[in-house]
Amino acid sequence: MTTEQLYAHILSKQSFLCVGLDTDIAKIPAHLLHETDPVFAFNKAIIDATADLCVAYKPNLAFYESMGVRGWGAFEKTIRYIKDNYPDQFIIADAKRGDIGNTSEMYARTFFDELDIDAVTVAPYMGEDSVRPFLRPGKWVILLALTSNKGSRDFQLIEDKEGTPLFERVLSVSQQWATEEQMMYVVGATQGRMFEDVRKLAPRHFLLVPGIGAQGGSLTDVCKYGMHDRCGLLVNSSRAILYADSSERFSEAAREAAAAVQQEMQKELAKRVKS
């Protein structure tokens, strides 16, 4: 999917919501546990309930791997279900991978060749040759820059001799590897005004923003400091949507939660984005 296609989807849906499919079998409604594949049944219901309100889905690999072979089956079925039924959705494998070249190449093969996913999240610590194998025509690397968690301060904010924090170095160095048509950055919603620093270095890139909802980030602040005139944001919500309700009406509740976010997003788009 190209940048222009993403811009168009955001405008037509008036949403830049990404629904994070962090599906935890311990948290899904009890009545689904009788299904052959409860995790897939849950995902299918969530997807059907939210697809017109969001532009992207982001399954988090950890939640599927924790269930071994069954989990991988549910992950693959989920990807296929989205591609078959909602082909305009941007699919992100939240994997945070990154390894020596031949290993990163294997991960790229999994996500891009086998599953035809649009984007993979990648950790920058191992540098250029750990990221390059993920750069494929029509596919996206979403590189961790400034994450949403408390530990983001441990290393990402360390300043070098010129006073440049590590995450800024990641933003600038990685732009030598890929254009803004191939790379996005993860910037946590909890980072507030730091979005201004990110935008100085990456004014046009798409940013994938986790951390609203359960993690406490503010959508208003993210838009105020991070949105550009064609949006340039994909804001993720996982738990607040998936687990809005644990009864048989979980998917309606998920839809209501997603709709509430979408309505806020529509207002932000009206304020800041030229249509």
Smaller CB distance to its own copies: residue 77 or 228? Answer: 77
Do residues 151 and 124 lie in contact, with contact meaning Cβ atoms separated by under 8 Å? Answer: no
Do residues 141 and 96 lie in contact, with contact meaning Cβ atoms separated by under 8 Å? Answer: no
The least distance separating its own copies from the CB of residue 186, rounded to whole angstroms, comes to 10
Q: At what angle do helices 250-272 and 3-13 cross, to 10 degrees?
A: 110
- The answer to whether 271 is a known catalytic residue is no
The least distance separating its own copies from the CB of residue 92, rounded to whole angstroms, comes to 14
- Chain positions 98 to 157 lying near its own copies, rule: CB under 8 A, are 98-104, 106-107, 109-110, 114-115, 123-131, 144, 147-156
| Interface with its own copies, residue 69, by CB under 8 A | yes
- Give the separation between CA 10 and CA 223, rounded to whole angstroms: 14
The least distance separating its own copies from the CB of residue 80, rounded to whole angstroms, comes to 11
**148 closest CA partner among 3, 253, 20:** 20
List the x/- string, 178-217, binding to its own copies by CB under 8 A: --------------------------------x----x--
**171 closest CA partner among 209, 140, 137, 205:** 205
| Interface with its own copies, residue 80, by CB under 8 A | no
Smaller CB distance to its own copies: residue 46 or 269? Answer: 46
Give the pair of three-digit tokens for residue 84: 């078959």
Residue listed under structure tokens 């800024």: 168
